[in-house]
Amino acid sequence: MARAATPAIAALVAAGVAHDVVQYHHDPRTDSFGAEAVSELAGAGGLAPEQIFKTLVVSLPRGLGVAVLPVPSKLSLKAAAAALGAAKATMADPAAAQRSSGYVVGGISPLGQRKALPTVVDASALNWDRILCSAGKRGWDVSLDPRDLVRLTNAVTADICAL
C-alpha cells in the first residue's frame, strides 16, 4: 500500500473519510497562500471563495490553538479565544506553528497535526456540503464534508470571523 503524501491525507484515509485531493500551481515567490488558493481554485467546479478555508494557529494563555475559517474572512481573535475557552488569543509565532503542527506555513492543515490542538471551525463551514482546506502541503487542498473536519479535529464550531 502506498504511503499517504501528507499526514493530513493519512488521517483522512485512516478514518475512512471520503475526500478528494485538489492540487494547484503554487508559486514559491508568493506569501499570500490563502489568496493564491482562492485565485487558483475558486470558480473551478463551481467553488465559491467562501468554501476555501485557511488554517491559522493562535497562541492562547495555556498553549496553542487552531482556527479554521474562510480565506476571504479575517479572524476575530476575541471570538476565537472565547470559542476555545480562553481569555485572549494572539497570532502564533510562525516558527512555533510549524514546530507544533509539523507543517510549513502556507501548508498547515487542521488534520494530521503532530500534536492535536484545541480547534475551532467557523460555523459557516456547515453551510456547505464540501469545503476545501489545506492537505498539508503548499499547493494541495483537500475537499471534504465539513462535519468530517469537525469530527476528526474534535473542533467546536463558532462564528469566528471579524465583522
Which residues on neighbouring strands pair with residue 122, listed in sequence order?
158
156-158, strands of its sheet edge to edge: 90-91, 53-60, 63-70, 119-122, 156-158
Instruction: Label residue 81 by pLDDT band (50, 70, 90).
Output: very high
pTM of the predicted model as reported, rounded to 2 decimal places: 0.95
Instruction: Label residue 48 by pLDDT band (50, 70, 90).
Output: very high
Print the SS3 string covering 86-106: CCCCEECCHHHHHHHHCCCCC
CB atoms under 10 Å from CB of 152, counted, come to: 19
Pairing of β 140-144 and β 19-23: antiparallel
Query: Residue 31: its pLDDT value, please?
Result: 87
Q: Which of 41-45, 88-92, 115-119 has the lowest mean pLDDT?
A: 41-45
Domains of the chain: 7-158 (3.90.960.10)
> 126: closest CA among 145, 143, 153, 111?
145
